[in-house]
Amino acid sequence: MNATTPVPTRRRLLATAGVAVGASLMPMAPKLSRAQAANTIRIGVLNDQSGIYSYLAGVDGVAMVQAAAQEFGNRGFTVEILSADHQNRPDVGSNIVRQWVDRDGVDMVIDVPTSSVGLAVNQVMREKNKAYVNVGSATSDLTGAQCSPNTVHWVYDTYMLAKSTGGATVRAGGDTWFFITADYAFGHALERDTANFVRQAGGRVLGQVRTPFPGTSDFSSFLVQAQSSRAKVIGLANAGGDTTNCIKQAAEFGITRRGVKLAALLMFIQDVGALGLPTAQGLVMTESFYWDLNDRTRAFTQRVRGRLARNGVPNMVTAGNYSGTLHYLKAVADMGVAAAKASGVEAINKMKAMPVEDEAFGRSTIRPDGRRLIPSFLFEVKKPEESTGAWDFLKLLQTTPADEAFRPMTEGGCALVRS
């Protein structure tokens, strides 16, 4: 062997491997020169990519942000997209966001499902003065007690779900309720908002049970407790696999056959797929986006569905990721990259000032407290014989117009509004 060639010693191999591993652990952020960096907007997509909520958006949520950035094109600045898995843990989520802002120069964070994580990131983004478009979290506290000038809340919240699904159920005669609630910020908010509607409509809440999250797969005990309360409606203040497990097991224990109604307060079209129409038929659910709603949403779905790796069709969260990214980029183009990078509050203010328009949701506006106003749609799950093809799952029951769908700004207790 030639003496001048570097001999790959064991130690060097180890060092190389160590560097490679270290590099692969870092979020994907290519190092750019200063000049380039000044003209680049960095968007961080933070969501659940491996756990119970990963099907809501997950990698498909990232793909939809990329779709929006690509369609937006290059209007004098480049867009870079980072993504990470927050594992539904607030500590993990806020750490990633801190690193993104401090080390990688991220200007905007989008998605962030799981309300506990969504609220934790809300604090960090305010402290760092960056823009935060929350799509995936449900808690209405994001535009209420914990509202922030750095935050907009994009497609839905617990109040909207409670008003649409809860209101319709009470009107249909379901005036006594028992809640099965996921024991964290989201479940509590959904239960609270729904219980308010039930009481306002003259109904009564007979009890509730808080189930550990994550980590509960058997809900039969809770369902039997709910049934023995003699409530007419069991409100499921949970989401994802928790909801589908509850519905499956309620059918198994004959609870629905005995005339007790289930109100799945947050359900996505993918949940219907997981249950299958024979089990899910007849359930009512509220969405702000359905792929088969009108020509506009069908065209949108046709255009983007090739990008979805796991979900057959976009749901309101993936569609919201697209729409939120597009609107943010429009605001950046309008105000200039430098100004947008300098202040998250200014970028959010610009977003609020501009009318929102895209193919997924049509036209909409954003309120001073950060709430985007869009209509909510109450759907019923079709019977198997009514469905004509894959993902043809829902029929529209009623529409709540944008100005009535969400909590009035004065009732939210948002400090931005009072001042």
Partner 1 sequence: MDEIFGIPIPLLFGQLLLGLINGAFYAMLSLGLAIIFGLLNIINFTHGAQFMMGAFVAWMLLSLGSADAARIGLALLLLPLVVLLLDWLWLKLRLAQPIRLGLGVFVSAAWIAACFLENGGPVARALGAMFPNGLSYWWALLIGPIVVGASGVLLERLMIAQLYKLDHLYGLLLTFGVGLIIEGIFRNEFGSSGLPYRIPPELSGAWDLGFMFMPVYRGWVVLAALILCLATWLVIEKTRLGAYLRAATERAELVQAFGINVPLMITLTYGAGVALAAVGGVLAAPIYSVNPQMGVNLIIVVFAVVVIGGMGSILGSILVGFGLGVVEGLTKVFWPEASATVIFVIMAIVLLTRPAGLFGRA
Q: Which residues are at the interface with partner 1 (CB under 8 A)?
A: 50-52, 54-55, 58, 183, 209-212, 214-218, 220-222, 224-225, 227-228, 240-241, 244-245, 248-249, 252-255, 258, 270-271, 273-276, 278-279, 310-311
Closer to partner 1 by CB, 295 or 385: give it.
385
Closer to partner 1 by CB, 216 or 297: give it.
216
Closer to partner 1 by CB, 85 or 346: give it.
85
Minimum gap (Å) between residue 147 Cβ and partner 1: 28
Closer to partner 1 by CB, 209 or 333: give it.
209
Closest CA to 109 of 87, 88, 89, 128: 128
Minimum gap (Å) between residue 1 Cβ and partner 1: 30
CA angle 75, 105, 367 (to 5 degrees): 65
Minimum gap (Å) between residue 254 Cβ and partner 1: 5
Report whether 301 contacts 173 (CB < 8 A): no
- Give Cα 412 distance to the centre of its chain: 20
Minimum gap (Å) between residue 135 Cβ and partner 1: 18
Closer to partner 1 by CB, 273 or 324: give it.
273
Q: Quote the CA–CA distance of 318 and 323 in Å, as a whole number.
A: 9
Q: Quote the CA–CA distance of 203 and 201 in Å, as a whole number.
A: 6
Cβ count within 10 A of residue 264: 27
Q: Quote the CA–CA distance of 34 and 36 in Å, as a whole number.
A: 5
Closer to partner 1 by CB, 228 or 294: give it.
228
Closer to partner 1 by CB, 72 or 253: give it.
253
Minimum gap (Å) between residue 334 Cβ and partner 1: 37
Q: Quote the CA–CA distance of 201 and 187 in Å, as a whole number.
A: 21
- Give Cα 136 distance to the centre of its chain: 1
The bridge status of strand 233-237 relative to strand 204-211 is: unpaired
Beta-bridged to residue 81, according to DSSP, are 43
The type of residue at 382 is: K
Minimum gap (Å) between residue 267 Cβ and partner 1: 11
Q: What is the DSSP letter of 383?
A: P
Q: Say which residue the tokens 């003496």 belong to.
A: 3
What are the φ and ψ backbone dihedral angles of 377, each rounded to 5 degrees? -120, 130
Minimum gap (Å) between residue 52 Cβ and partner 1: 6
